[in-house]
Structure 1
Amino acid sequence: MSDSIKHECGIAFIRLLKPLSFYQEKYGTSLYGLNKLYLLMEKQHNRGQDGAGIATIKLDIKPGNRYISRYRSMEKNAVQDIFSYVMKKFAAVEKENPALLKDANWLKEHISFTGEVLLGHLRYGTHGNNSVEACHPFLRQNNWMTRNLVIAGNFNMTNVDELLQQLYDLGQHPKEQADTVTVLEKIGHFLDDENQELFDHFKKDGLDNAEISRLIAQHLDVGKILRKSAKTWDGGYTISGIFGHGDAFILRDPAGIRPAFYYQDDEIVVAASERPALQTAFNIKIGQVKEIQPGHALIIKKDGTVTEEMFTEPVEKKSCSFERIYFSRGSDADIYKERKKLGQLLCDKILEHVNHDLEHTVFSYIPNTAEVAFYGMVEGLHTYNRKIQRDALVHSRHNLTDEELDRILKTTPRVEKLAIKDVKMRTFITQDADRSDMVSHVYDTTYGLIKRDVDTLVALDDSIVRGTTLKQSILRIFDRLGPVKIVIVSSAPQIRYPDCYGIDMSRMGEFVAFEAAIKLLKERGMEQLIHDVYAKCKAQANVPKEEVINHVKEIYAPFTPEEISAKIAQIITPPEIGAKVEVIYQTLENLHEACPNHLGDWYFSGDYPTPGGNKVVNRAFMNWMEGKNARAYV
C-alpha cells in the first residue's frame, strides 16, 4: 500500500496443559511457553509496531506469592525489548547456579513469567494516546484470585458512549473513555457477579472461605460471564482473557470481522490472529489449525478442559476483506491464492487501457504488499499472450515467414521492478515545501527500462486510500522515465467509507474517492445533494443505531465507478508531469470472486456488518461538513 495506514492488532495465546517439568524433560527447557510466545509474536509483528505487551499467570501458587506477571513496551523493537527484559531474569539464574535453569518447580516458585498461561499482544494505535499505558494486556486486579482479569485484543467498539453509560448505571466510574476500558470493566463486573453468586451459594453450606475460593475457581461459568458482558457490544473484535486462577478464553465477534485461529493437542492450546504464525511456531499442518467461529468463545478451564461455546448469536459472516488484500501476511496459503486471483481478475481491464499492446507496455508494482497480486496479474497477462500467439499461429500457419514467426514467439509481457522503496527517511526540516520534497524521495526507480515517449507504464498497488504518496512521490518518479502514459492499478476497489472496527480510516476527507465524488458533484451543479445528505445525517444523529441508514451512499450514487476513477486520476496527477495518468480499480464483484469467504467490504460498499457502522459513517460525514478533524467514534 503506497499510502501507509495503521491497522489491526495481533494476539498470541498459549496454555500449557502439562506441568513445566514435562517441557523441560521433552524439549530440554522450562521456558518452552515463553519461547513459543516470542515466536508467535514475532511472526505477527506486521500487526502492530506501536507497542507490545505480555502477561503470564502461574497456576496453583500458594497465597502470598506473586502469580501474575506483566510487561509492556513502546520501544522501536517492542517484542525484542520485552523478551530481553524477561530473559535477563533467567540469565541471572544461569550465572549464579546453572542447574536451577533445569529445575522447573524452582523457576516457577522464584522467577516471574514462568507461568502456564501466557498472553501476548501487538499494538497499532489507531487513535488517541500512544503511550505504554495504552498497550495491552490490561489488568483488573483484586485480592480474590478468581476476580483478577487480564485481557488483550484486536477490536474496536462503535458504541462506547452506550457501553460507558451502562457502566455508570451499574455504579461504576471508569477512569477513561475508551473501548478497552469499557470491555475490561464490563467483563470484570459480571466476573464479580459470578463470584458473588457462587460465594453466596457455597456459604449456605457452611463452608469456610478458603474452601469456597477453591470451589469458585472450579465452578466459574466463563460462558455465562461472556454472554452477559457482550450483550450490547457493537464492533469487530477478537479478545483474549485470563482469570487470575487460570481459566482463559478467546472470543470472536458475531460477524467474524476480526480473525482468530487456534490449535490444540494434549500438550498445548494456542491461539493467534494469523494462521501461518501457528503453523510456523508449532510446525503443524494447515488442516490442524481451526478458526474460532463467529459469536463463539474458545474456553480453556483451569483443569485443561477445552470447549468452543456460543456467547452471542452469530449473524451473516462478514470477515474483513482488507485482511486478505493487505493486512495479514501473504504467507497464508489461502490469502496467497486470493491475492493472486485479485491480480488475475484485473487483466481484462488493464489490457483495455493499454489497447492490448504488450510490445509497448511495461508492467510493474508498488512494493511491497502488492507483490503477490502482481504475480497473479502477470500470470493473467501470459495467459492472454499465449492465446494471441496460438490464434496467430493457427490462422496464419501457411503464410508465415521466419521473421514473422520469430516476432510472434518473441512477444511477451514486459515485466520489470521499477519502484524501489528506500530505507525509511526521516524529515528533519519543518517547512512544508522542504518536507514535501523529502517525502517525494521515499521511493526510487530503476532507469533505462522504459522507451521514452513510446511505452506505457502499468503499476499495480494493493489499494489507494488518500493518493498522497502517488501524487507526491511515485508518479513524479515514474514520469522521469518518459512513458507516454502511466496506468495505476488498485487490486482493491475504491475506498469510499470509514472503518470503525480497528483500522485507522475514520475521516471522510482522507479518501481520494470521496474527494473525487465531491468535486464531480460541484462541477456538475449538484452541490445541493451534499447539503441534503448532511441534513439527513443530522436528522438521524440521535436515532438508535439500529434505525440509522447510511446516507453517505447518496454522494456516490450519481456516478459510475469509472467516472470517479477518472476524477481520481486528475486529483493525483502532479501538474508538472508529462505523462497521461489513468487509474483502474478492482470491482466489488471481482473482490468477492477472489475472496468468497471474506465478504466484509464496508470500506468499499458502505454495507456495514453492525448497526453502529451506519451511525459512524454519518457522523464522519457530518464532521467533514463541519470542519471537524476528529474520528467519528469514541
Structure 2
Amino acid sequence: MCGIVGVVGKGNVNLQLYDALTMLQHRGQDAAGILTCHGNKFAQQKSNGLVRDVFRTRHMQRLVGQVGIGHVRYPTAGSSGPALAQPFYVNSPYGIALAHNGNLTNTEQVSDDLYRADLRHLNTDSDSEVLLNVLAQELLKINKLKPTAEDFFSAIGAMEKRIRGGYACVALVAGYGLLAFRDPNGIRPLVFGKRETPQGTEYMVASESVAFDVVGYELIRDVQPGEAVYITTEGELHTKQCSEVAKLTPCIFEHVYFARPDSLMDGISVYKSRLRQGERLAATILEQRPDHDIDVVIPIPDSSRVAGQALAHSLGVKFREGLVKNRYIGRTFIMPGQQQRKKSVRQKLNPIRLEFEGKNVMLVDDSIVRGTTCQQIIQMAREAGANKVYFASAAPPVRYPNVYGIDMPSARELIAHGRTVEEVCAEIGADWLVYQSLEDLIAASSEGNENVTEFDCSVFTGEYVTGDVDQAYLDQLDSARNDGNKRKSDKAIERGSNALIGLHNDNAAEAG
C-alpha cells in the first residue's frame, strides 16, 4: 500500500505536497518522494525513510514549481531499496513522472511486451515503472507536439486495455499538467478537491481525503472507477470515463486497517464504518456467549480503537487503553521480515498492569494477518496478570494473499490459511477467539453508501475481482513474497543501489 498526491497550484506547491504526504504517512513508511515542475523542468527529491527524514530545507528550496506529485511507499510487488522510491520518470515523450498506489497482476506479460514490441528498457522490477512506460508508449503513439485533454484520455484508455490489477496514479507531464486515474474496479482509492485563492482555483488529488484537511482543500468527489482527471498547468479541469467496462468494487481492507478514520472513501466515513464493525462484532459475541464474563475491552492501538469503543459500549463493559504505544516505531504489519516484526511488537506496545491484573480481558484488533502481533500481545497480557485473555478480530479470517497492492504475503504465512477458528485460537494462545463475519463486515461499510454494493474481499474469500488470478499466479506470488525470498531480493537491490551510487560518485570525481 502506498500514498499518492498531486497538486496544481498558483504558486510553489512543495510545502503543500510535503504536508499532504505527512497526512498519508500511515500508507507507507519505506520511502518518500516529491517531484515538481517549473516551466518544463523537473526537480525531484526522494529516498528511503519517513517524510520528515527525506526532505530538508535545502531540498524544499529547489523543489520549485506550481505543479507537483508526491509518494510514500511501502513495498509490495518488487523489492525495497533507494532505487525503487517514487515518483519514477521517463523523458519521452514530453517528460513524464508517475506515482502509483496498487499492484498490476500482469506485470510480467506487459514487461515482456514493452521490451519486444515497444523496445522500452525497464531498470527495476517495479510494476510502477511498467505502468509508467505503458502510459508513455501510448502517448508516443499519438505523436503530437501539443497534445489535448482528449489525447491524454485516449492514451489512458489504451493503457487500461493493456494492464490489469488495482491501481490509482498521479502523473505529471512536463509543461502540460497533472493526470490522475483509477483502475476500472476502483480497488485503490483516489479523491480530488479544490481550494479558492486570490490567484484562482487550486486542485489536489490524493489517496485519502484527509490529505486535503491540513492544507485547506474541499473534497469535490472520488475519482470514479476507470475515470481519468486532467488538470492543466493553468488550472483547467477535465474529466472523462476512459474504461469501456467499469464497476466500483473498492478494497474493504481500507476500511478495516489502512485508511485513517478521518477519511472519506467512496462517500463512506471510515470512522463510522469502524464503529459499525464494533457494534456488529458485539452482536456476534452476545450470540455466541450471551453470559460472557468479559470485564474489560482493550484495543490494540491504533486502528482497532474505534471498533473497540463501539464493541465495549454495545456489550456494556469497560473500555480501557491498557496498551501504551511507542509512536516512534512503525506499523508492524508493513515491516519486512518476520524477525523484525516480532522484535518490534515488544518495542511498540507496553501493557498497563493495573488494567490487566486479575481481569478477564477482551483484546480487540482490526484483523489477524500473520498472527505475530496478537501472539505476543496475548503473552504480554498474561504476564501483566490477566485472568483470561479473549481476542476479537473486527475482520473475518485472512486466508488468501492480496494481489492488488497490500503486502499480505504468501498464503502459508497467513495464520488462518488452512486452519479453523479453533486452531487459530490455539496457535495465538487465546482463551477464546471471535471473528467478524464477512456479511457483517460488508454491511458495516455499505451502510455508509447504498450505491456501493460490492467490495473486493479477496483476502477473505479468495475471489479476485479482476478475474485473471489463478493458482499459477498465486504460486509465483508466493515465491516472490515469502519472507526468505524478500530478504534475498532486498539485499540484491541494496547492492545494485550502492553500485549505482558508487558509479555516480566516480563520474562526479572525474568531472571535477
Which of 258, 261, 277 is residue 211 of structure 2 equivalent to?
A: 277
Q: Please name the residue that 1:349 is paired with.
A: 284
Aligned mates of 2:356, 2:3 — CA distance in 1: 41
Corresponding position of 2:154: 224
Distance 1:607 1:11 in 2: 27
Alpha carbons of 1:78 and 1:280: their partners in 2 closer, same or farther (altered >3 Å)?
A: closer
Residue in 1 that maps onto 2:350: 444
- Asked if the contact 1:156/1:500 (under 8 Å) is kept, the reply is yes
Q: Residues 115 and 615 from structure 1, CA distance in 2 versus in 1: closer, same or farther, beyond 3 angstroms?
A: farther
Instruction: Give the 3 Å change call, closer, same or farther, for CA 56–621 of structure 1 in structure 2.
Output: closer
Residues in 2 aligned to 1:292 and 1:218: alpha-carbon distance in whole angstroms: 20
Map of 1:64-79 to 2, 5 A cutoff? 67-74=41-48, 76-79=49-52
Aligned to 2:502: none
Higher share of residues assigned strand: 2
Tell me which amino acid in the other structure corresponds to 2:300. Answer: I
User: Quick one: structure 1 residues 41 and 235, their matched pair in 2 at CA, closer, same or farther if it must change by over 3 Å?
Assistant: same
Q: What is the match of residue 11 of structure 1?
A: 4
**Contact 1:279–1:289 (8 Å) recurs in 2:** no
1:245-281: CA deviation from partner (whole Å, max 9, x where unpaired)? 2232100000000000001354212111001211332
Question: How does 1:360-371 map onto structure 2 within 5 Å?
Answer: 361-371=295-305
Q: TM-score, normalised by structure 2?
A: 0.83
Q: Residue in 1 aligned with 2:438?
A: 588
Cα shift at 1:511 = 0.7
Query: What SS does the aligned partner of 1:268 have?
Result: strand
The answer to whether residue 250 in structure 2 is matched with residue 319 in structure 1 is yes
| Structure 2 CA distance for aligned equivalents of residues 442 and 423 of structure 1 | 7
SS of alignment partner, residue 345 of structure 1: helix
Residues 426-465 of structure 1 correspond to what in structure 2 (within 5 A)?
A: 440=346, 442-450=348-356, 452=358, 455-465=359-369
Alignment of 1:294-309 (within 5 A): 294-309=225-240
TM-score normalised by length of structure 1:
0.68
Task: Please give the alpha-carbon distance, in whole angstroms, between the structure 1 residues aligned to 2:99 and 2:327.
Answer: 32
Counterpart of 2:321?
Answer: 417
Change (3 A) 1:513 1:274: same
Q: Determine the structure 2 residue equivalent to 1:570.
A: 426
- Call closer, same or farther: CA 1:567–1:282 in 2, change over 3 Å: same
> CA contact under 8 A between 2:79 and 2:125: conserved in structure 1?
no
Alignment of 1:185-204 (within 5 A): 185-195=133-143, 198=144
CA distance in 1, matches of 2:483, 2:58: 42
Q: 1:357 to 1:302 in 2, by over 3 A?
A: closer
Change (3 A) 1:122 1:347: same
- In structure 2, give the amino acid aligned to 1:275: S
Query: 2: CA distance between counterparts of 1:599 and 1:513?
Result: 21
2:90 aligned residue (132, 135, 140): 140
Aligned residue pairs: how many?
Answer: 464
Please name the residue that 1:551 is paired with: none
Other structure's SS at 1:57 match: strand
Q: Does 2:373 align with 1:469?
A: yes
Shift of 1:126: 2.3
C-alpha deviations, 1:606-632, integer Å up to 9, x for none? 1211123335664269859xx99558x
> Does the CA contact (< 8 Å) of 2:342 and 2:373 recur in 1?
no
Work out the CA distance in 2 between the residues paired with 1:423 and 1:281: 24
Rate the CA distance shift 1:437–1:376 in 2: closer, same or farther, 3 A. Answer: closer
State the structure with more CA Rg: 1
Distance 1:438 1:183 in 2: 34
TM-aligned CA distance change 1:628 to 1:510, over 3 Å: closer
**CA-CA distance at 1:308 after TM superposition:** 1.3
Whether 1:262 and 2:229 are equivalent positions in the alignment is no
The aligned counterpart of 2:403 is: 500
Q: Write the distance in 1 (CA, Å) between the matches of 2:428 and 2:95.
A: 53
In structure 2, what residue type is equivalent to 1:47?
Answer: R
Query: Paired residue for 2:108?
Result: 161
Counterpart code for 1:114? V
Task: Please name the residue that 2:80 is paired with.
Answer: 130
Contact 2:14 2:36 in 1 (8 A): no
Identity %: 26
Q: Which of the pair is proportionally richer in helix?
A: 1
Query: Which residue is 2:24 aligned to?
Result: 44
Residue 256 to residue 490, structure 1, CA distance change in 2 (3 Å): same
Please, which of 41, 44, 55 is the counterpart of residue 82 of structure 1? Answer: 55
Query: CA offsets per residue over residues 278-335 of structure 1, 9 Å max, x none?
Result: 1332153xxx431000001011234533121112124332101111111011112600
For the pair 1:599 / 2:502, whether they are aligned, the reply is: no
Q: CA deviation at 1:352?
A: 4.8
Q: 1:329 to 1:189 in 2, by over 3 A?
A: same
Q: Is the CA contact 2:18–2:51 (under 8 Å) kept in the aligned structure 1?
A: no
DSSP 3-state at the match of 1:494? coil
Contact between 1:462 and 1:491, CA under 8 Å: does it hold in 2?
A: yes
Secondary structure of the structure 1 residue equivalent to 2:167: strand
By how many angstroms is 1:367 displaced? 1.4
Cα deviation code 1:544-599 (max 9, x no counterpart): xxxxxxxxxxxxxxxxxxxx1111011122xxxxxx61111110000111011361
How far apart, CA to CA, are the structure 1 residues paired with 2:442 and 2:53? 38
Find the aligned partners of 2:94 and 2:217 in 1 and give their Cα distance: 36
**In structure 1, how many angstroms separate the alpha carbons of the residues matched to 2:166 and 2:443?**
23
Matched letter for residue 28 of structure 2: G
Q: 1:302 to 1:433 in 2, by over 3 A?
A: closer
Asked whether the equivalents of residues 299 and 306 of structure 1 are also in contact (C-alpha less than 8 Å), the reply is: yes
Specify the code of the residue in structure 2 equivalent to 1:51. Answer: A
Aligned to 2:179: 249
- The one-letter amino acid of 1:141's match is N
1:237 to 167, 187, 200: 167
CA contact 2:362–2:391 (8 Å) conserved in 1: yes
Aligned positions of 1:22-33 closer than 5 A: 31=12, 33=13
What corresponds to 1:523 in structure 2?
Answer: none
Q: 1:260 to 1:345 in 2, by over 3 A?
A: same
Alignment deviations for residues 334-387 of structure 1 (CA, whole Å, 9 cap, x no partner): 0000001000101123235554346x62221111211011111123123xxxxx
Query: In the alignment, is residue 182 of structure 1 matched against residue 130 of structure 2?
Result: yes
Match of 1:373? 307
- Supply the distance in 2 between the matched residues of 1:434 and 1:278 (Cα, whole angstroms): 33
- The equivalent of 2:221 in structure 1 is 290
Q: Tell me, which stretches of 5 or more residues in structure 1 are unaligned? A: 1-7, 21-30, 62-66, 90-111, 199-212, 383-412, 427-431, 517-563, 574-579
**Residues 41 and 79, structure 1, Cα contact 8 Å, conserved in 2:** no
How far, CA to CA, are the matches of 2:406 and 2:445 in structure 1?
19
- Secondary structure of the corresponding residue to residue 431 of structure 2: strand
**Equivalent in the alignment of 1:170:** 118
Relative to structure 1, the CA distance from residue 192 to residue 605 in structure 2 (aligned partners, 3 Å threshold; closer, same or farther) is same
2:499 alignment partner in structure 1: none
SS in 1 for 2:426: helix
RMSD: 2.9
8 Å contact from structure 1 (residues 507, 630) kept in 2: no
Shift of 1:483: 4.0
Kindly indicate whether the alpha-carbon contact (under 8 Å) linking 2:66 and 2:233 is maintained by their aligned counterparts in 1.
no
Query: Quick one: structure 1 residues 515 and 571, their matched pair in 2 at CA, closer, same or farther if it must change by over 3 Å?
Result: farther
In the other structure, the counterpart of 2:64 is 114
- 513 and 433 in structure 1: CA distance in 2 versus 1, 3 angstrom threshold: closer
Separation in 2, partners of 1:338, 1:366: 18
Distance 1:117 1:380, change over 3 A: same
The change in CA–CA distance for 1:290 and 1:165 in structure 2 (over 3 A counts) is: same
**Is the Cα–Cα contact under 8 Å of residues 194 and 220 in structure 1 kept in the other structure?**
no
User: Does 1:336 pair with 2:287?
Assistant: no
Q: Which letter maps to 1:492?
A: A
Whole-angstrom CA distance in 1 between matches of 2:46 and 2:355: 48
Looking at structure 2, the residues matched to 77 and 436 of structure 1 have their Cα atoms a distance apart, in angstroms, of 21
CA distance in 2, matches of 1:56, 1:414: 50
SS in 2 for 1:514: coil
> Could you tell me how far apart the structure 1 residues matched to 2:175 and 2:384 are?
65
